[in-house]
Amino acid sequence: MSEPVSLEPISLEKALASFTDQWSPRIVTTVNDNDVRVAKVEGEHVWHVHDHTDEFFLVLDGELHIALREPTGERTVVLPRGSVFTVPRGTEHKPYAPVPSAILLLEPTGTLTVGDRHEDVPGHVDATTGHALNQA
């Protein structure tokens, strides 16, 4: 279930300060049928695929690498702070943060963080459709 649209501004800094879990996104608001999520990330996620949706990344702090398995082979895109990238639907990908980082994601409400198909999910990765933001 998605969060209601806030009628007040939301501080992303405060939202990120409200939790410590890595790879466990919080839903800060919704736009039409999409969740706007923020997450703290460090280390590796898992190889996964979203069969029916693109996945939008904005690096708020730190750096994010996204390995991609494409028809022409495997490559990695590097996103420094302030960069955006969209992983096209159906593309197998694996995010990795070499340093503690913060990201913003835009995905249809109900999209699982580990996609429709994925590797075994390690304990440090939260397989979720996003958590409510408990901002004080």
pLDDT at 70 over 90: yes
Helices (DSSP H) in 47-128: which residue ranges? none
User: What's the pLDDT at 1?
Assistant: 46
pTM above 0.75, yes or no: yes
What is the reported pLDDT for 124? 77
Q: How far is 101 from 24, CA to CA, in rounded Å?
A: 13
Assign domain 12-111 to its CATH superfamily. Answer: Jelly Rolls (2.60.120.10)
Return the pLDDT at 4.
58
Does the structure show a pLDDT above 60 at 59? yes
List pLDDT tens digits, range 7-43. Answer: 789 999 999 999 999 999 999 999 999 999 999 999 9
Length of the chain: 136
pLDDT (average), residues 89-104: 97
Residue 88 to residue 98: CA distance in whole angstroms: 23
3-class DSSP state of 13: helix
